[in-house]
Amino acid sequence: MQENSEFYIGWQAEVPPGIARTVRRYVLALAVLVPLFVVLLTVFQRGFSNAVFEYGKQTTLEGVYTVAPVPFLTLQNGTDAAGRPVFQKILLVGPGKFGFQTEVPNPLEKHATDGETVKASGFLIYHDGKTAMEVSGFQTIAPALPQATGRRPNATLGKVRLRGEVTDPKCLLGVMKPGQGKPHRDCAVRCLAGGIPPVLKVANATGASEYYLLAGPDGESINARILEYAGDGVELCGTLEQSDDWLILYVDLNSLKRINKWVLNPGPMCQ
């Protein structure tokens, strides 16, 4: 003879024992799982980026203007322990999604030449020890000198092969947060198309990020060539130079290939 199934009608005074036991089990399970889920979500949630865009806060800096391979304002920030001058380079970009030389009102290259001392005003953008400025105004204050302050030759570090993510420094350093994922890719495409120099973001052996400004073998712009890789992972080879607090990679475009963007580790030396 088949047992009768329990049946509960809402207006009954008591729930049948079998249904009551089932409900208690589910309630207890939820009482444990919901707080656990909240704790795990909190623990594994990424923190907010500490990148900064000082929009609306105008800063004026004086330094030496350099054109190639990307526009820099070079400042002297004191001296080191040996008494040698320490320089910082500020990457110059234009308003919106445009490079400095293509969009700044009264472009600097029409009024200042490489090596001149200039005064630049704008909004600072900084993250991970790298700084850029969205320039809104400038003026030349001294002509170029044969050995102008800030004209120290770049140090050649040899040939390297690197794997990383192609991005743009303006959005990455603080204009867009988070500077990653599909929304960032859309931003990077427009910034690179507008003339902002590309950057390769690479994870070093300790997992920290390193940033390499990318230029062609002779220092020429490679924005048009690398635009299709914006937001993607690439492997490339080139000659590396240290320019004060920035690294510049002169890319061998024949070595450029797409890879998994999450493999952001340095590779072996080029052959």
Residue 146, pLDDT score:
62
Question: Is residue 147 helix, strand or coil?
Answer: coil
Question: Is residue 5 helix, strand or coil?
Answer: coil
Q: For residue 151, give both structure tokens.
A: 């004209």
Position 38 confidence tier, pLDDT thresholds 50, 70, 90: confident
Query: Nearest 5°: phi and psi at 166?
Result: -80, 125
Q: What is the mean pLDDT of residues 159-179?
A: 82
Q: Which one, of 41, 262, 271, 235, lies nearest residue 159 by Cα?
A: 271
Angle formed at CA 187 by CA 172 and CA 162, multiple of 5 degrees? 50
Question: Is residue 184 helix, strand or coil?
Answer: helix
Q: Which residue has the higher pLDDT, 265 or 250?
A: 250
Contact 232, 190 (CB under 8 A): no
Q: What percent of the chain has pLDDT over 90?
A: 31
Taking the chain, what is the end-to-end CA distance rounded to the nearest angstrom?
Answer: 83
Q: How many CB atoms lie under 10 A from the CB of residue 196?
A: 28
Q: How many CB atoms lie under 10 A from the CB of residue 20?
A: 13
Q: Which residue has the higher pLDDT, 72 or 172?
A: 72
Q: What is the mean pLDDT of residues 82-97?
A: 88
Residue 149, pLDDT score:
46
Is the per-residue pLDDT at 136 higher than 80? yes
Q: What percent of the chain has pLDDT over 70?
A: 77
Spell out the domains of the chain, with CATH numbers in brackets. Answer: 52-142 (2.40.50.140), 155-259 (2.40.50)
Cis? peptide before 69, omega within 30° of 0? yes
Position 30 confidence tier, pLDDT thresholds 50, 70, 90: confident
Q: Which one, of 248, 164, 167, lies nearest residue 209 by Cα?
A: 164
